[in-house]
Structure 1
Amino acid sequence: MKKIGEQRRLFRYFSVCLQGMISETVRMRYGWIIILWCMTAFPVMAQRMRIEDFGRYKRPFLQKSPFTTDKRQALLDFFTNEKGFQFFVEDASVATTEGEGMVTLTLPHRTSFLVIKHPVYGQLAWKVPDGVLKKKKHYHAYLHTESLEKEFRQQKQWALISTVPEHAIVYVDTVIHPLLDGTLSLYLPLGRHACRIESPFYQTLNDTIELTDSARFEKRYVLQPFYAYLTVETDWPDARICLDGQPLGMQRIETSRLMPGRYRLTVDQGDSLYYEQWLELANAERKVVDLHGIELRPFPQPGQTIETLGFPNEVLADSLASDSLQVQPEQWADVHITAFDADTEIWLNREQVGQGEWRGKLAPGFYAVSSKKEGLDSRTDFFWVDAGKSVELNLISPLADYGLLNVSCDEVDAAVFLNGLAAGFAPCVLRNLPVDRTYRLRLVKGRKAAETLVRLKGNDIVNVKLKLK
C-alpha cells in the first residue's frame, strides 16, 4: 500500500508539471497570434531620423566672423528640407528660426541632450557628441529623415572642388573647409548650397552649387589675383621704412604682395627724424615712392605742435601728432596699452608712461610705442589714433623675437596642445611664439592623436601638417 501511495503522488506531480507546460505553450502561442494581429491591424510607422556631421563654426584667422553668436545661449543650425519639427530641452520647448534649407535653434548654455519630434518621422533623443553646447558658440549639423513608406532616394552626393591657388579656403553653407592639397571632397545633401572661395591676395569668389543624384559634382575655381607692389627709395642709409607701423627695411625696400587699399608710409632715422604720408594701392599696381631730395622733419616731442616743426600746410591733416590744445574734448581717444607682464615698462613717444599696463587719453595723431625690461628694448611700433575711437594695444615681450605655427591635420576640430597646454582647434595659426625654442605639438580628436617636435628659428611661419592615428 505504501508503494501504491508513492506512485499516486508521483503521478499527480507529473500531471501538474505537464499541465503547466501545456498552459505556458498555449499562452506563448496566443501571445504571438495577438502580436501578429496587431501588426496587420495597424500600419507600421517605420520612419526615423538621424543627425550627422555635427561641428562648430570656426572664425577665419584675422577675419571678421561670418556667423552670429549669442552672449547667453548656444546657437545650432540643423540643415534639412523638411518642416514641422519640434525641439525640446528637458520638456521645455526650444525657440527656432526657419531659414532656407535649415532651422536655427537657440539653446540654453551647456545643453547636452535634445529631443526632436515630428508628426511623420516620430521622435529622436539626441545626445551632444563629446560634451555640451556652450554660449557664444554657433554649431551646425545635418538632420536627415527616412521612411519606409516612401520610395528610397539618394539623399546625399559627393562634391569635388579644386581651386587655384591651392591653399584657398572654401565656405559651403557658411561652414569653413580649408584646402591643403588643392582639392576638397564633401558628402553633402542633395540640392543647392552656397559656396564662397577666398585666399589672401586674390578676389573672393561666390557661387551656388547644385547636387543631384545622377552624378557627383566637380568644379575647378580659378581666383583672380588681387594684390599690388610697393617700392620706396630714400637718400638715407640708416632710414627705417615702415608700412602701417611694420618695419620693411632700410633706405630702399621692395615689398612682396600687398592687398590693395590704404596704407600709412613712415620713414624714421633713429629717434629724431621722421617722414609720413598716406598711400592708396590699386589692384595690380606697382607703385614707386621716390623720396630722394625729401627733407626729413624732427619727430615731435610731447606737447609740440606740427606748426613749430615747419611742416607745410598740406601735411597737417596727416601729421604725426595734433596740437592737443586745439582738440575738442569729444575728439580725445581712450587708449589702453598692456605690456607682456607686470615688470615690463611701457614707453610712449620715448617717455615712460607706465609699467605692466597704461590707460589714458590721447589726441588724434601718430604715436610711437615700445617696451623695456631688464635693460632690453623692444622694437618701436607705431599706431594711429582716430578722433573719438578707442585703441587697444598688447605689447609682445622685449626679450625675444616671435614666430608663428600654422597647424593642420586630416581631421577637423582636433584639439591642439602646445607643450601640454590647450592652444585651440585645428586648423589654426598659433601666434607670438618665442623663437629659438623647441615646442611639443600634440593633436587629439577622440581616440586619435598625433605628436611632433617643432623648432622655431626665426620670425617666420612654420607649416605643420599631421595625420591622426
Structure 2
Amino acid sequence: MISETALMKYCWIIILWSLTAFSAIAQRMCVEDFGRYKKPFLRKAVFATDKRHALLDFFTNEKGFQFFACNVAVSATEGDGVVTLSLPHRTESLLIKHPKYGDLVWKVPDGVLKKKRRYHAYLHTESLDKEFRQEKQWALFSTDPAHAIVYIDSLIYPVLEGHLSLYLPLGKHTCRIESPFYQTLNDTIELIDSVRFEKQYILQPFYAYLSVETDWSDAKIYLDGSLIGMQRAETARLMPGRYRLTVNRSDSLYYERWVELANAERKVVNLNGVELYPLKQWDLNSGTILAGETSPDTRVDSVSVSEKLSDVYIKAFDSDTEIWLNRERVGRGEWRGKLSPGFYAVSSKKEGLDSRTDFFWVEASKTVELNLISPLADYGLLNISCDEVDALVFLNGVMVGVAPCVLHNLPVDNTYRLRLVKGHKKAEKVIRLKGNDIVNVQLKLK
C-alpha cells in the first residue's frame, strides 16, 4: 500500500505538472526566422546601422515587452509592427519579458550580435485565451484614366498605370479620385476583415472644344488673352466654363464677347459674313474715347463716359513685371488710374511669360485694388512620388513640399530640375513640362 505521505507528494507532483503543462500550452513566446540585413552588391544599403551597437528588429504586433542583455535593460523603439533594439557589441543572448506571455531566454543562433550590423527576427506570441483580431485590410483600386490621383481620408496617393494597392485600417474611409479634364468622383468605402476591397473607378470626361472662323486672313483670335490662331482657330481640351473671346485686326479690337462652354461641348463661333467694326478704344488714364465705333453685334459690356469714374490700383508681382489692361501695356510694377464702370481684362508679362487673363468689374465711385500673380506661360502639374515617405522635394533648388505630392501652377514649356532628399539618400531628374497636363514622376532614392 502507498503511504498517505507518498500519496500527497504524488498528488502535488501531478498538480504542478498540470499547471506547468497548461501554461506552456495556453501561451507561448518564441523567436523565429533570425537573419542579418545584407548590403546590396555595388549599392548603398537601404537600412541604418550603429557604429557602437548592434541593431535588432523584432517583428511583432504585441506591445509591452522588456528586453535585458547581461541583466541590463536594453533600449527599445516601438514602431508599426516592429520593435528595434540597440544592443551591446557581441551580445550572445537576450532575456525577453512580457506581463502576459512570461519570460523567454533567447540565445543568438550560431554566434553573437556585432556592432555596425543590423539583424531581424520574428517574435511570435500565442495565447488560447486571446482572440486574434485583424486590424487592417488590403484595398485595391483601378482607375480610368490610368494616371489619376486618389485621396483616402484626405491623404494623397498617386496612381501609376491605373492601379493602386493600400493596406488600410478596417472601417469606413472617404475617397476622392480626380484627374485633369475629368469630373471629380467622391465615394465612401468600407473595409472588412473577411475579404479584400476591390473597386474600379471610371471618371467621366469633363472638357470642351472651341472653334472660331473669320473672313479675315489677318485676324488674330484670342481666348482669355492668349493667341489661339489666325483667321481660323481650334482649341485643344478646355475645362468647361466662361471664357473671353476677342478678335483683333491691325492692333484694333473688332470683336469681344463672353463664351460659355458646357461639358463635352464642341462650340463653333462662325464670324464669316458678319459685318464687324472697330470697337471703342479708351484712354485708360482719362476714360475718354480715342477712336472707333460701336459694333451692333459685339455684345460687349458697354460703359458710358459720362458715368462717374473709379480709382483703380494694380500692383504687379515685382517691379520688372509689365501690367496689361484690355490688351494694352499701361505700366510696369504698378499702375494707378481712373476707369469707367464695367468689365476689364488684366494680365502681366515678364521675360516672355504671359499670365492668364483675369477679368474684374469696376463699380461706380468704388476703389479697386488688385495684386497680380507671377506671369506664367501656361499651367502644368507634376505628380511626384518615390520609394520613401516624406522625402523633401526641391524644384530648381527651392524646397516646395514633401513626397508624395502634386505641384500645381507650373509654367509649361520650361525645364525643371527635380531633386528628392531624405537623410543621406537622394534622387534627381530633369523634366520638360509641356502642355496643360499632369506629368507623373516616380523616383528611387539612393
> The TM-score by the shorter chain falls in which range?
0.5 to 0.7
For the Cα contact (< 8 Å) 2:178–2:185, is it kept in 1? yes
The yes-or-no answer on 1:450 pairing with 2:430 is no
- Counterpart of 2:255? 275
- Tell me the distance in 2 between the aligned counterparts of 1:414 and 1:244: 38
For the Cα contact (< 8 Å) 1:367–1:382, is it kept in 2? yes
Matches for 1:24-173 after TM superposition, within 5 Å: 151-173=131-153
Of 293, 305, 310, 2:294 maps to 310
Change (3 A) 1:255 1:299: same
Mean Cα displacement is larger for which, 222-231 or 160-169?
222-231
The yes-or-no answer on 1:194 pairing with 2:171 is no
How far residue 256 of structure 1 moved from its aligned partner, in angstroms, is 2.0
For the Cα contact (< 8 Å) 2:346–2:359, is it kept in 1? no
- Identical-pair percentage: 56
- Counterpart of 1:384? 359
The yes-or-no answer on 1:301 pairing with 2:282 is yes
How far residue 430 of structure 1 moved from its aligned partner, in angstroms, is 6.3
For the Cα contact (< 8 Å) 1:396–1:432, is it kept in 2? no
TM-score (norm 1): 0.56
- Counterpart of 1:240? 220
Question: Residue type matched to 2:419 in 1?
Answer: R
- Tell me the distance in 2 between the aligned counterparts of 1:351 and 1:277: 18
Q: Which runs of 5+ in 1 are unaligned?
A: 1-147
- Counterpart of 2:407? 429
Mean Cα displacement is larger for which, 377-386 or 193-202?
377-386
- Tell me the distance in 1 between the aligned counterparts of 2:280 and 2:158: 45
How far residue 277 of structure 1 moved from its aligned partner, in angstroms, is 1.4
Change (3 A) 1:366 1:216: same
How far residue 308 of structure 1 moved from its aligned partner, in angstroms, is 6.7
- Tell me the distance in 1 between the aligned counterparts of 2:145 and 2:433: 26
What count of residue pairs does the alignment treat as equivalent? 308
| Cα RMSD, aligned residues only | 3.7
How far residue 240 of structure 1 moved from its aligned partner, in angstroms, is 2.0
Of 371, 375, 390, 1:396 maps to 375
- Counterpart of 1:13? none
- Counterpart of 2:303? 322
How far residue 450 of structure 1 moved from its aligned partner, in angstroms, is 0.7
SS at 2:133's partner residue? Answer: coil
Question: Residue type matched to 2:178 in 1?
Answer: E
- Tell me the distance in 2 between the aligned counterparts of 1:352 and 1:290: 30
Of 176, 200, 206, 1:226 maps to 206
- Tell me the distance in 2 between the aligned counterparts of 1:361 and 1:338: 17
- Counterpart of 2:385? 409
SS at 2:190's partner residue? Answer: strand
SS at 2:281's partner residue? Answer: coil
For the Cα contact (< 8 Å) 1:306–1:323, is it kept in 2? no
Of 181, 201, 216, 2:196 maps to 216
Change (3 A) 1:158 1:325: farther
Change (3 A) 1:459 1:171: closer
How far residue 210 of structure 1 moved from its aligned partner, in angstroms, is 0.9
Change (3 A) 1:452 1:346: same
- Tell me the distance in 1 between the aligned counterparts of 2:356 and 2:348: 6
How far residue 217 of structure 1 moved from its aligned partner, in angstroms, is 0.6
Of 254, 259, 262, 2:234 maps to 254
Deviations 1:263-322 (A, max 9, x none): 22111224213311122222222211101123142351222459972233x756x33x63
SS at 2:206's partner residue? Answer: coil
- Tell me the distance in 2 between the aligned counterparts of 1:326 and 1:159: 63
- Tell me the distance in 2 between the aligned counterparts of 1:245 and 1:391: 18
How far residue 222 of structure 1 moved from its aligned partner, in angstroms, is 1.1
- Tell me the distance in 1 between the aligned counterparts of 2:436 and 2:180: 20
- Tell me the distance in 1 between the aligned counterparts of 2:380 and 2:195: 42
SS at 2:372's partner residue? Answer: strand
Deviations 1:203-242 (A, max 9, x none): 2222221101112111111112222221111112222222
Change (3 A) 1:245 1:310: same
- Tell me the distance in 1 between the aligned counterparts of 2:426 and 2:328: 50
Change (3 A) 1:463 1:167: closer
For the Cα contact (< 8 Å) 2:380–2:435, is it kept in 1? no
- Tell me the distance in 1 between the aligned counterparts of 2:176 and 2:327: 46
SS at 1:309's partner residue? Answer: coil
How far residue 349 of structure 1 moved from its aligned partner, in angstroms, is 4.9
- Tell me the distance in 1 between the aligned counterparts of 2:234 and 2:329: 34
For the Cα contact (< 8 Å) 1:337–1:395, is it kept in 2? no
The yes-or-no answer on 1:364 pairing with 2:345 is no
- Tell me the distance in 1 between the aligned counterparts of 2:362 and 2:254: 22
For the Cα contact (< 8 Å) 2:225–2:327, is it kept in 1? no
For the Cα contact (< 8 Å) 1:264–1:279, is it kept in 2? yes
- Counterpart of 1:111? none
For the Cα contact (< 8 Å) 1:403–1:456, is it kept in 2? no
Deviations 1:404-456 (A, max 9, x none): 572512245432223433233343336555967x6532111344321123457
The yes-or-no answer on 1:336 pairing with 2:336 is no
How far residue 160 of structure 1 moved from its aligned partner, in angstroms, is 0.7
TM-score (norm 2): 0.59
